Amino acid sequence: MIKVFLAEDEFVIREGIKNTIDWGAHGYEFCGEAGDGELAWSMIRKEQPDIVITDIKMPFMDGLTLSRHIKAQFPQIEIILLTGYEEFEYAKEAVRIGAARYLSKPISGEELIGELDALSGKIRERRQEREAAAKYAEEMRERTELDKREFFRNLVTGGRELSALLDDAGRLGLDITALWYNVLLIRISSAAHRGEERYSESVLTAEQALAGIAEEAGALLFDLSLDGKALLFREESEDALEQLVAGTVGKLKECLNAMERVRYFGGVGKSVGRISELPVSYTEAARVFARRFFTEKNEIRYAKGASDGEGSAFSLSAIDPAHFDRRQLRAFLDRGDAAETEYFLDAFFDGLGEGALDSMMFRQYIVMDTYFCVADYAEHELHRNRAEAGVHEPEQDALADPDSARTYVLSIVKSVMKCREEAATDRYHDTVQEALRFIEEHYAEEELNLNALAAHVNFSPNHLSAIFKQQTGQPFIKYLTDLRMNEAKKYLRSSAKKSSEIGLLVGYRDPHYFSYLFKKTQGMTPTQYRNAQGAEAL
């Protein structure tokens, strides 16, 4: 219903307007009344009606002043001004304020209802427009998240000039201006199900809590990749930044430790004083973050030399060579990001203990054990022989010194990670092709969305969103919208069906939303498109 509020200081007129109209029968809700402008303003702020009917001459605050306040704070409210004076200045001021009607008293109930009906049509149309815009924004959120992920990648890799980054930030509605910055990388996973395509309710709850804590801290939250999230902290001084990070880390630990069936690991980078230095902060955070493969503990660690907020400095936990476990390497080959390879191997070698590779015998053991682990992964998981995977046997010079050993290990791990990405691309190709077939069959169903599609192909929504964009070059929602709009245009060109019927045939039950979306994406209404096509055929 359309809500109507009445401000009129003359009791008889106010009662007459209120009681002579059957508000409900005409589709209105009479939500309040006041005898002066000051009281009316307080009540209007609370009720937020759709239409305010107000007299111009009232005590404490007149109708023109009341109208100015209403339009300043609630521009969507329509105003009908009533007056017993035929003065041009009043009418001119009413127009300037933005009042919808300027009516002379006395006015009959029938006449007032006529004016209200004319206004209510505009109000309902604007309401539908706002609802359509909100729905469109929600549907486009997937596209925005992908753009934000790309923005963060550019921000922390130095892959884009500062002016372009600032433009991108403005377009995405992100404020990245500050004097000091730091980065936190964090992965939350299920303690019951480990695997990138498994997504439990406990993880979803934990990620929602993470988002809430990040918002409270004023940190920007980004999807890091398929394997985590990133928080970008900003402050005006280094001390304030360190306090903010330490406080946020403390809240995260407290929150996540209280959750069952949740595992987490985080890495905090180095505070930097320029946007252009964010790659340094990110690199330090990534080095620490790569250590998640070497522990089962729930932790958020700091880069070397930074405070953890609890009065202790970060130090690497030594891995006893006698208990060296290749499962750590296997876990990285399964789930790690290729971009993390060097960070992972730094942690791997550092964990062996200082000077461990100086021993020729132990160096041989590490190199050969790594070789067999990587070769086994290539053959049994990627179904590639060692030569195809670039896993060549170590030459004698690979064992000559610690640096050579490191270089050799890095080369074969990088090679097999590249093969893994190629194999994943092939597998993802099949998955996306199945997704495209499903879209083609179900695009006319309004319930089709990213979550439904992800459930069909057994992927998490975030994972599917990323690979769909990677394989098709566009986000799922844009692909689906383009498909639906193209089908709608076919109907508009070849049939006499109404716009509302066509919207239903292509997946939009709400005709107003279909019309809004068609105009938003095609630059004209469905009717204008049909007329233009008809004109071209002549």
Q: For residues 468 and 4, give the distance between their C-alpha atoms in angstroms, rounded to a whole number.
A: 49
The 3 state secondary structure assigned to 175-223 is CCCCCEEEEEEEEEEECCCCCCCCCCHHHHHHHHHHHHHHHHHCCEEEE
Tell me which of 386, 418, 442 is where a domain ends. 442
Q: Are residues 308 and 418 in the same domain?
A: no
- Contact indicator for 55, 7 with CB cutoff of 8 Å: yes
Identify the residue with better confidence: 199 or 371. Answer: 371
Helix axes 450-457, 476-494, angle to 10 degrees: 110
CA angle 411–364–325, rounded 5-degree value = 80
Strand 180-190 versus strand 262-268 pairing type: antiparallel
Residue with tokens 């004016």, as numbered in its chain? 115
Same domain, 195 and 260: yes
Q: What is the mean pLDDT of residues 427-434?
A: 88
Average of per-residue pLDDT across 381-394: 88
pLDDT of residue 362: 79
Mean pLDDT in residue range 470-487 = 92
Which residue range forms the structural domain that includes residue 163?
142-315
Q: In degrees rounded to 5, what are phi and psi of residue 2?
A: -90, 125
* E-state strands within 352-429: none
CATH no. for residue 6? 3.40.50.2300
> Given 442, 476, 508, which residue is the final one in a domain?
442
Q: What average pLDDT does the chain have?
A: 86
- Domain match, 396 and 266 both: no
Residues 171 and 320 in one domain: no
pLDDT value, residue 169: 93
Number of domains in the chain: 4
Name which of 172-181, 298-307, 433-442 the model is least confident about: 298-307
In degrees rounded to 5, what are phi and psi of residue 306?
-100, 155
**d(Cα 301, Cα 314) in Å, to the nearest integer?**
7
CB 356 within 8 A of CB 321: yes
State the DSSP code for 248.
H
CA distance linking residue 277 with residue 157, whole number of Å:
10
What CATH number corresponds to the domain at position 184?
Answer: 3.30.70.270
Weakest mean pLDDT among 189-193, 200-204, 331-335, 449-453 = 189-193
Phi, psi of 223, rounded to the nearest 5 degrees: -70, 120
Is residue 92 located within the same domain as residue 130? Answer: yes
Q: Quote the tokens at residue 316.
A: 């690497």
Model confidence at 537, in pLDDT bands (50, 70, 90)? low
> Do residues 230 and 357 share a domain?
no
Which residue among 442, 470, 485 closes a domain? 442
Are the CB atoms for 252 and 259 separated by under 8 Å? no
Q: Using an 8 Å Cβ cutoff, are 255 and 209 in contact?
A: yes
Give the C-alpha separation, 86 to 104, whole Å: 7
More confident residue, 63 or 233: 233
Query: What whole-number distance in Å separates Cα of residue 275 and Cα of residue 225?
Result: 21
273 and 322 in a common domain: no
Q: Are residues 74 and 100 in the same domain?
A: yes
Contact between 242 and 248 under an 8 Å Cβ cutoff? The reply is no
pLDDT in the model for residue 361: 79
Is 80 exceeded by the pLDDT of residue 330?
Answer: yes
Specify the pLDDT at position 139.
79
Q: How far is CA 244 from the centre of its chain?
A: 23
- How much is the pLDDT for 220? 96
Please indicate, yes or no, whether residues 294 and 168 belong to a single structural domain of this protein.
yes
Residues 174/463/283/237 CA torsion (nearest 10 deg): 30
Q: What is the dihedral of CA 498, 502, 504, 509, to 10 degrees?
A: -60
CATH number at residue 509: 1.10.10.60
Average pLDDT (133-137) is 82
Does residue 267 sit in the same domain as residue 336?
Answer: no
Q: Is residue 503 scored above 80 in pLDDT? A: yes
pLDDT at 536 (0 to 100): 62
Question: Same domain for 363 and 345?
Answer: yes
According to the model, what pLDDT value does residue 324 have? Answer: 60
3-state SS string over 149-179? HHHHHHHHHCCCCHHHHHHHHHHHCCCCCCC
**For position 336, what pLDDT does the model report?**
85
As to burial, measured by CB atoms within 10 angstroms (0-12 exposed, 13-18 middle, 19+ buried), residue 255 is middle
Residue found by looking up tokens 């290990």 in the block = 409
pLDDT digits (tens, 9 = 90+) for 294-320: 888 899 999 874 444 443 443 334 445
pLDDT digit string (tens) for 200-224?
678 888 989 999 999 999 999 998 7
Position 225 scores a pLDDT of 65
Q: Quick one: pLDDT at residue 434?
A: 94
Which pLDDT belongs to residue 142? Answer: 76
Section 166-173 average pLDDT: 92
pLDDT category at 534 given cuts 50, 70, 90 is low
Residue with more model confidence, 286 or 84:
286
pLDDT at 291: 87
Q: Which of 160, 144, 296 is nearest to 222 (CA)?
A: 144
Percentage of the chain beyond pLDDT 90 is 41
User: Binning pLDDT at 50, 70 and 90, where does residue 227 land?
Assistant: low
- The 10s digit of each residue's pLDDT in 229-245 is 999 999 999 999 999 99
Enumerate residues 6+ apart whose C-beta is below 8 A from 125.
none
Tally the C-alpha atoms within 13 A of residue 393's C-alpha that lie toward its C-beta: 2
Nearest CA to 8 out of 80, 73, 77, 74 is that of 80
Identify whether the C-beta of residue 285 lies closer than 8 Å to the C-beta of residue 267. yes
Q: Residue 31 has what pLDDT? A: 92
Element (H, E) at 34: strand 28-34
Centre a 10 Å sphere on the Cβ of residue 494 and count the other Cβ atoms it contains. 9
Give pLDDT tens digits for 93-130.
777 777 878 787 778 888 888 888 888 888 888 888 88
pLDDT at residue number 535: 60
- Please indicate, yes or no, whether residues 287 and 341 belong to a single structural domain of this protein: no
Determine the Cα–Cα distance for residues 285 and 279; give it in Å rounded to an integer: 10
